[in-house]
Amino acid sequence: QVRLAEFGGRTVQAGGSLRLSCTASDFAFSPYGMAWYRQAPGKECELVAQITSGGGGTTYASSVKGRFSISRDDVENEVHLQMNSLEPEDTAVYYCNSDYPPPGGVERMCDLLQQWGQGTQVTVSS
């Protein structure tokens, strides 16, 4: 088990933009598809966006499609999530990890990452 770190979360007004970053010092992202997850208060863990290991393919949850963009820089060993047109419903703790779910599926991912001390809080005010 390795630890990743997410940065960039803060409070932002609805309609604003925010860029999250994910890094790891102990392993390389390059062989892996990567993903962003989030969990809002009272809601289940959600797979927000994912990107293939080569960066040539991306997918998004319907709730963020057209507003969020995932990208990667394997030289810098970083994954980013550009968040535009933010809505109060985007308020959540955001996590970064591989796109391969653990036992229990996506719904378990956020719990595991939280236990490992990961996550960055995004709060969108209206």
- pLDDT above 80 (res 73): yes
Please state the rounded mean pLDDT for residues 20-43: 93
Please state the rounded mean pLDDT for residues 92-120: 91
- pLDDT above 70 (res 41): yes
Question: CB–CB of 30/52 below 8 Å?
Answer: no
H-helix or E-strand spanning residue 69: strand 68-73
| Amino acid 25: pLDDT | 85
76-88 pLDDT, tens digit each? 999 999 999 999 9
Please state the rounded mean pLDDT for residues 34-62: 96
Per the prediction, the chain carries an average pLDDT of 94
The token duo for 38 is 């989030």
Question: CB–CB of 14/83 below 8 Å?
Answer: no
β-sheet bridge partners, residue 5: 23
**Alpha helix (H) residue ranges in 12-104:** none
